[in-house]
Amino acid sequence: MSESPPANNFAVGEVMLLIDQRDRSFLVSVPPPGDLVVRVHGEPFKSEDLTAVNDGGVLISPMRRRYLAVRPTLQEIIMNMPRQAQIIYPKDLALMLMWGDLTPGQRVLEVGCGHGAMTMCLLRALGPEGRLVTYDLRRDHLNRTRKNVALYLGEEPLTRWSPVTGNPAEQGFAETGMDRLFTDVPEPWTMVEAAAQALRPGAVWVAYVPTVIQMAEHVKALNAHHYWSLAQGFEALQRFWHVRPPSVRPSHRMSGHTGFMVVGRRRFKEA
């Protein structure tokens, strides 16, 4: 007789994703025991209700609604977390990490954090030995990012993260010899010289920009600068498929244009 798998219940303070029977997702944090409740569709759930559920189990509401309860992936967190600033979509974040050749232990610069979608991806990919320094003009964006990192990734990544309020295009970077640079700002070409001084030879810069004009301007600036090479720009389109036999067809909605990515490499010396 096979043994039952060990319980894998949710803990107080842990984030869980509830998915209803119409595939709608709700990202909630398990409250401490007491009077605090979490509301989904207007129905209250107490701490005891949520901690009694296993990862991958079913939560039944007082009105008999059924929810699949899972520990969210980072993609699900990014797409469901509360935000005011526009995020970089996971389809673009995945390509940015790949084209940026991000590996554990690197020393990385980030400019423009919004509410922390890219910051969380960078911190998780860098691992416990990596270091991330994030510049942003707005202190409230840095504060929100700090809260999101602590809530969704835990406190440990914050020990590897240094937030800086400032504009590197005007002030330059305080760091030198860095391995990678990721930017989400509308005019990245204004920091071409500052980036060259901050990054080591061979380092990679991945810039995210919203329009084709900005992509062209940044590629032009990289190609014109004696410390940059191999500039290229691209975008990513993502289309899901509706696979529920006997129907197999493209979904009615797709993630079309969301932004452009520009990648450049730091030269060793002037050509």
| pLDDT tens digits, one per residue of 49-91 | 999 999 999 999 888 999 999 999 999 999 999 877 778 999 9
CATH 3.10.330.20 residue spans of the chain:
15-72
Three-state secondary-structure class, residue 22 = coil
Contact 151, 128 (CB under 8 A): no
Name the 3-class secondary structure at 195: helix
76-266 placed in CATH 3.40.50.150: yes
pLDDT cut 70: percent of the chain above it: 96
The greatest distance separating any two alpha carbons of the chain, rounded to the nearest whole angstrom, comes to 72
Q: What is the chain's mean pLDDT, rounded?
A: 92
Token output for 12? 């107080």
Least Cα distance to 75 among 97, 58, 54, 55 occurs for 97
Helices assigned H by DSSP within the chain: 47-51, 74-80, 90-99, 117-126, 139-152, 168-171, 192-198, 212-224
- Write out 50-83 in H/E/C secondary structure: HHCCECCEEEECCCCCEEEEECCCHHHHHHHCCC
φ/ψ of 246, rounded to 5, equals: -85, 10
Task: Report pTM.
Answer: 0.90
Structure tokens at 256: 């079309």
What pLDDT is stored for residue 179 in this prediction? 98
**How many whole angstroms separate alpha carbon 130 and alpha carbon 139?**
23
pLDDT given for residue 105 in this prediction: 97
Ranges in the chain annotated CATH 3.40.50.150:
76-266
Share of the chain above pLDDT 90, in %: 78
The helices-and-strands tally (H runs, E runs) of the chain is: 8, 15
Fold observed for domain 15-72: Vcp-like ATPase; Chain A, domain 2 (3.10.330)
